[in-house]
Structure 1
């Protein structure tokens, strides 16, 4: 059997192959690097399956990232036209879980005149309110500001700007892809997630 042939004596280790102790050390180092890489985008391997770290799901409400206690689901009138975008997290009301276990779940809300939206954006808005990932697609910084002159979302790290009326497409700066959008609907007057992010949030379009 294979297990009986794996470990014999030092003389059985072939020339050019790492010894078992070195091989185990390399394997542990690779796992540590992988874990560190996942942590930089806000998802710890040990927490990826926890409810608070799972991506927004249809039916989730939206609550302020600042953290009301208890969480208060938002309505469309909470989002003011021309104001700084609201930073929010999805909220699984049935389970009582705010999905704030990953920064990739942070969402920006802006309110625009529905008449100024293209057809695709209008179909994903709720009473003029649009939702986008708050993580820049360039290098993962926070998109947090509103440029009123350009009607654009702004990342201060490298000044990428995104047009929410065109579903977050890049209008300036080094970002190579638009912000993922999160389709919304109104349910009982509450802002509600209609379907998942259009693409994976973060600096890389990974699953």
Structure 2
């Protein structure tokens, strides 16, 4: 009798391993039955890999305000730039599927910008790819007295007032610019990246 009980215990649903397998199977079945729309925010959604699209809004990529929309009063002129992602407001898709979509947002005095730079700015806000064109590090540094973007990896420097042209270090090209517009006090993408994001393939 005691042997029979031990045998039954090993095969009952109370066994931890069996219970875990049953739970995993139930979860997988439920996920497979979900409609496509319900799975739109799945991590494998290819739309998260898409470059920022016209009509996307910009949100903070980290910090205390992560995920919040970047609004007109968010930055003062000359403040340290912030990292951002683009988000599709209609499909609720955050385009964070690749780090190549990281965006730098900075606010500067429009009177200090050249004409080309001013053409893709909005209320003094400028957006550039945050990916260095040298070795694809994330450009996170800011030299406030010069108002220059700085890459900490190999010391490349970019001037955001002049289309992020290279003013120091080994970077071969400017950062790609992302045209902006202001819609109801919120930063919105107004065009595709101007220029190539990241480094040249032949240098990879």
TM-score, normalising length from structure 2? 0.73
Within 1, Cα distance between the matches of 2:63 and 2:47? 17
- Note if contact 1:83-1:146 (Cα within 8 Å) is conserved in structure 2: no
- Specify the alignment match of 2:86 in structure 1: 90
- Specify the alignment match of 2:157 in structure 1: 161
Shift of the 203–126 alpha-carbon distance from structure 1 to 2, 3 Å rule, reads: same
The equivalent position to 1:125 in structure 2, one of 101, 121, 124, is 121
Structure 2 residues not aligned, in runs of 5+? 1-43
Show CA shifts across 1:122-171 (max 9, x none): 11101000000001000000101111122110001110000000010000
Structure 1 residues not aligned, in runs of 5+? 1-46
SS of the residue 1:165 aligns to: helix
Determine whether 1:74 maps to 2:70. Answer: yes
- Specify the alignment match of 1:114 in structure 2: 110
Q: Kindly name which structure, 1 or 2, has the bigger radius of gyration based on alpha carbons.
A: 2
Shift of the 75–157 alpha-carbon distance from structure 1 to 2, 3 Å rule, reads: same
Within 2, Cα distance between the matches of 1:95 and 1:50? 13
Q: State the Cα distance separating 1:69 from its structure 2 match.
A: 8.4
- Specify the alignment match of 2:54 in structure 1: 58
- Specify the alignment match of 2:18 in structure 1: none
- Note if contact 2:120-2:180 (Cα within 8 Å) is conserved in structure 1: yes
- Note if contact 1:79-1:109 (Cα within 8 Å) is conserved in structure 2: no
- Note if contact 1:100-1:106 (Cα within 8 Å) is conserved in structure 2: yes
Shift of the 70–147 alpha-carbon distance from structure 1 to 2, 3 Å rule, reads: closer
Within 1, Cα distance between the matches of 2:188 and 2:163? 18
Show CA shifts across 1:92-136 (max 9, x none): 010111101110100000110011111111111010000000010
Within 2, Cα distance between the matches of 1:93 and 1:69? 17
Determine whether 1:135 maps to 2:168. Answer: no
- Note if contact 1:199-1:205 (Cα within 8 Å) is conserved in structure 2: no
Show CA shifts across 1:60-93 (max 9, x none): 0000001778943211221232222110000101
TM-score, normalising length from structure 1? 0.72
